[in-house]
Amino acid sequence: MSVLIITHSADHGGVDDVIGHIEARGVDVVRLDTDRFPTEIGLAVEETAHGQVMSLTADGCRHALADVEAVWYRRMRPAKLPDDMPADFRGVAAGESRAVILGLLNSLPAFRLDPWDRIRHADHKQRQKRLARTVGLHVPPTLITNDPDAARAFAKACPDGVITKMMSAFSLERDGGEQVVYTNALTEADLAALDGLRLCPMVFQARIERVLELRCTVVGHRVFCGALSVAATDAAEAADDWRRQGAALAGQWVPHTLPEEIADKLRALATLQGLNYGAADLLVDAHGTHHFLEMNPAGEWGWMEKACGLPIAAALAEVLVEPGARRVTEWIP
């Protein structure tokens, strides 16, 4: 048996921790750094009279993929192609490289953490919220719109105010650099100047007077939870999005015991989406109500393991190696 990990060369050290846990179980690991393909890594998929024969060659070593029984899809990064390559050729080469990797991911007769199509579907926030309500999670009143009048009417119906955020984008390229788009509370002046909304829809959500921010990481049957006290985010720039002070606040996260009822609902939500992994964000208010915000099907977990001492890497390795640790099992045609 071996495990194939699809990631990139600059991925965080938690990936190496998972690899260490897998190898400690006596299982081989093959790592495919997507940014090194096709210039530094070779892939070959041959159709023969006896079936498919697949192999990966990296750093002078050829790995037959016939004994891969599990695949962990972590991240994909664009291929590093020569700077002097014509732009039109670069686009074609990058697209073909991506298609080959996704084809490999989807054609290997192996367990996948998680299947690519399920990750894509699970990433749709509207669908997430509908399914979250289905399993009994509380979802704050939310409006997704490009209509300024609808946004203003929604804001009037939210006595504690409204926050706004992007549906999918977390950053944008501007003035030669990356600018992060954080969650922001809307002021009266903001609501009066929403004409630009017609050019780009946004998410509007009732502001929750939170006591705790929670990150709940579902891995197989297990749910790991870390909490950040609202008192740690009193700085004005982090009032509605702790990520504004992410590095400074990382050490303020602590392990948290999640009510089993909420943990069960998060497991049920992941199951409805066909996932063994999901990183969910929740808010807890002064009344103890847990408000579901979203579940990222490929969310980061390394910082949470480091801050809270949670054994997430070991749990991921277990799901990849031990079928009994998987909450969702795949039928592979």
Element (H, E) at 283: strand 277-285
Residue 240, pLDDT > 70, answer no
What does the CA dihedral 131, 136, 138, 141 come to, rounded to 10 degrees?
50
CB atoms within 10 A of CB 78: 13
Instruction: Return mean pLDDT, the chain.
Output: 90
Pairing of strands 68-73, 2-7: parallel
Structure tokens at 98: 């991506």
Burial class of residue 40 in the structure, from the number of CB atoms within 10 Å of its CB (0-12 exposed, 13-18 middle, 19+ buried): middle
User: Mean pLDDT lowest for which of 14-18, 90-94, 269-273, 326-330?
Assistant: 326-330
Q: What per-residue confidence (pLDDT) applies to 175?
A: 66
User: Mean pLDDT lowest for which of 231-235, 276-280, 283-287?
Assistant: 231-235
What does the CA dihedral 83, 88, 94, 96 come to, rounded to 10 degrees?
-150
CA 35 to chain centre: 19
Exposure string (b/e) for 120-138, b if CB count within 10 Å is 16 or more? eebbebeebbebbeebebb
Amino acid letter, residue 224: F
Mean pLDDT along residues 287-309: 93
Mean pLDDT along residues 71-97: 91
Q: Backbone phi, then psi, for 25, in 5-degree steps?
A: -90, 5
Residue 111, pLDDT > 70, answer yes
User: Mean pLDDT lowest for which of 238-242, 248-252, 306-310?
Assistant: 238-242
User: Mean pLDDT lowest for which of 45-54, 59-68, 286-295?
Assistant: 45-54
For 175-199, the pLDDT digits (tens) are 666 666 778 888 899 888 898 899 9
Residues 6 or more apart whose CB falls under 8 angstroms from that of 327 comprise 220, 221, 267, 270, 271, 276
